[in-house]
Structure 1
């Protein structure tokens, strides 16, 4: 009887182990290097700490749109249609963003230029676009930072070429037709690099306070009940005494991780939280490919990773 019991127990443990292996999370980091001239780079991780570059850290997609042909700040999400949708910064001074889609992260559609700020004569740039999906409305929101000359003069500065950003957005259901561009977030300061994730019933925005005088240059958070806002007043900084930008997040279990570029220190940082309120620095625990500049993180399947590893 005991032998049967132990045999059954071993069988159950084996099944649970197989299930655990099947459910192992694989995270993919989409990023750029240098000025973004060579295009899309990818790295993966199974523990959210150690990241390994794919394809010997060579580009998966060469930028082809805009005069500058850059691919900075890539953001990739898995759409409700099963496709991977990507947007990126095409230029330092253009009035639009890049877009492409893929079934496998290897073969990409023809790259498109979406002229999101073309109707704003004073628009100086279109930086770090991201995509967030709203499952309730089945709508994608694409959002980015732009400086429009003559607007928000209360926070204008002559520092850093006089850039004075706010967050803008468009929505789409199919990446073929888009809404008109609207203001997404004016926190009362110069803001860039927003990324929005869903936490239970609310949307959480991580953003960079770009204020130069007195210097902020840190990551803060804001909240909204709806993806398109309105978002709350930005909270206190969640990053430390260094300049940080380009936040991206992932959640494993109940654990939140926020990664960001410590760009003045030429290295990457990360903080961790279980409640989105109390954060601990885990920068010394992470390992990322050399020269990685910020982008975004998504989850992929084991079979998708196997194909990427063949490249």
Structure 2
């Protein structure tokens, strides 16, 4: 989130005795991931300053839960949140932390954050606001990790220390008694949005450098305040980026660094991958390889088990709609605009223009018809080979024109292509970003006619 300036004093961390805990979650067999996020869209139509959840089997393709609607909403303070963070606690349960903010007018003097407890992310209990400090500054983007040397959780967040933006830390056993605030990371320039990943006994901190606008990864052997050394060159995709997330894949020695764009006008997630988190070898991932939930902003990601993923889908439900991502323009999705079918960059307004209910084909139940979510009863239909959004008039001709048959993707068999029901040698494709049905002969044609069904 955007940086602001206020005064914060530094205090010593509270001493603590070791605590007894159940088997750490790291000992479980993780095989999936959960994401927490809030939502913003360019024209505010899809803004939601509440807790949202998504799940993924591979950590890259995400399924929003509860129809991309909130699963919990703050009732105190600003009565809204930004920057939610999921922490797997030592006993296997979860804590949810979040910035106490609602909307796009930032409260600069807020010493509190939101906290929930959750056994399994299927319900949220013990909602409270907890105070982190007594000074006139903010408490933004809280994250947390377990500090074994203190037998406490470290809660790291963005604030102002009277000179510049730094990361502060409080140490807590229960997310109720938060201990005293102290400076966690101050490299001598303004920083924002810290996220710590513990791996092989070392502590890796990703942060945003406010001076150059890039993301960086640093390392400490102890995880103690002011012991981190930066490892990487600056990382950026898009025009601006913030909110880094460090994730280790449960499958092999793969690490991901996520970041989201600076503005809701360009609400896009970007990702890098590395096989060596201690090195300086992060490669940008092609957007074909990952899809974040619609309008999602400043997320966090935590590994979960396959049983937990399935239980979350059962509890909250998978979407009753899909999106179609373009193969050769993976930042664009099929949408309707002025009743014309086309592919446009994400984000777009209104976001529902890109959501489709995949109905059994109107002319052949083995096929598929694409019904608009925000204009129910209207379908993608070809007329003179151009594809438009048209209200179903109940005729046989309409049913045939609005029915397509899915095949393996012409440019990538793991994706999808769609033939016209009544013109089976023609495929749904984009040309000049506008949808139509055409014969396919060249590699460029095949790429134009390939889509990914996603959420």
Q: Give structure 2 stretches of 5+ with no counterpart.
A: 1-27, 317-455
Structure 1: how far apart are the matches of 2:183 and 2:293? Answer: 35
Q: Which residue of 2 aligns with 1:236?
A: 233
Q: How does 1:266-277 map to 2 (within 5 A)?
A: 266-276=267-277, 277=280
SS in 2 for 1:107: coil
Residue 166 of structure 2 contacts residue 192 of structure 2 at CA under 8 Å; is this kept in 1?
yes
Residue 30 of structure 2 contacts residue 303 of structure 2 at CA under 8 Å; is this kept in 1?
no
Structure 1: how far apart are the matches of 2:152 and 2:286? Answer: 35
Distance 1:32 1:288, change over 3 A: same
Q: Which residue of 1 aligns with 2:365?
A: none
- TM-score by structure 2 length? 0.56
SS in 1 for 2:50: coil
Residue number among 87, 91, 105 corresponding to 1:77 in the alignment: 87
Q: Which residue of 2 aligns with 1:147?
A: 160
Instruction: State the 1:38 CA deviation.
Output: 4.3
Instruction: State the 1:240 CA deviation.
Output: 4.3
Q: Which residue of 2 aligns with 1:25?
A: 31
Structure 2: how far apart are the matches of 1:62 and 1:95? Answer: 19
Instruction: State the 1:241 CA deviation.
Output: 6.1
Structure 2: how far apart are the matches of 1:306 and 1:232? Answer: 38
Residue 239 of structure 1 contacts residue 271 of structure 1 at CA under 8 Å; is this kept in 2?
no
Structure 2: how far apart are the matches of 1:227 and 1:24? Answer: 24
SS in 1 for 2:309: helix
1:119-174 C-alpha deviation (Å, 9 max, x unpaired): 21x32x111000111245431000100124xx22xxxxxxxxxxx41110100122
SS in 1 for 2:236: coil
Structure with bigger strand share is 2
Structure 2: how far apart are the matches of 1:229 and 1:202? Answer: 14
SS in 2 for 1:236: coil
Q: Give structure 1 stretches of 5+ with no counterpart.
A: 1-21, 153-163
Structure 2: how far apart are the matches of 1:75 and 1:175? Answer: 13
Structure with bigger helix share is 1
Distance 1:176 1:61, change over 3 A: same
Aligned residues: 269
Q: Which residue of 2 aligns with 1:278?
A: 281
Structure 2: how far apart are the matches of 1:260 and 1:79? Answer: 24
Residue number among 198, 217, 221 corresponding to 2:217 in the alignment: 221
Larger Rg: 2
Structure 2: how far apart are the matches of 1:27 and 1:102? Answer: 16
Residue 187 of structure 1 contacts residue 233 of structure 1 at CA under 8 Å; is this kept in 2?
no
Instruction: State the 1:40 CA deviation.
Output: 0.8
Instruction: State the 1:283 CA deviation.
Output: 4.1
- TM-score by structure 1 length? 0.81
Distance 1:51 1:190, change over 3 A: same
Residue 130 of structure 2 contacts residue 175 of structure 2 at CA under 8 Å; is this kept in 1?
no
- Quick check: 38-47 or 131-140, which moved more? 131-140
Q: How does 1:163-202 map to 2 (within 5 A)?
A: 164-202=164-202
Q: How does 1:19-168 map to 2 (within 5 A)?
A: 25-34=31-40, 37-66=48-77, 68-91=78-101, 92-93=106-107, 94-117=110-133, 119-120=134-135, 122-123=136-137, 125-148=138-161, 151-152=162-163, 164-168=164-168
Residue 30 of structure 1 contacts residue 297 of structure 1 at CA under 8 Å; is this kept in 2?
yes
Q: Which residue of 1 aligns with 2:420?
A: none
SS in 1 for 2:307: helix
Q: Which residue of 2 aligns with 1:18?
A: none
RMSD in angstroms over aligned alpha carbons? Answer: 2.0
Structure 2: how far apart are the matches of 1:24 and 1:135? Answer: 21
Instruction: State the 1:266 CA deviation.
Output: 2.7
Residue 183 of structure 2 contacts residue 226 of structure 2 at CA under 8 Å; is this kept in 1?
no
Residue 44 of structure 1 contacts residue 53 of structure 1 at CA under 8 Å; is this kept in 2?
yes
Distance 1:260 1:174, change over 3 A: same
SS in 2 for 1:39: strand
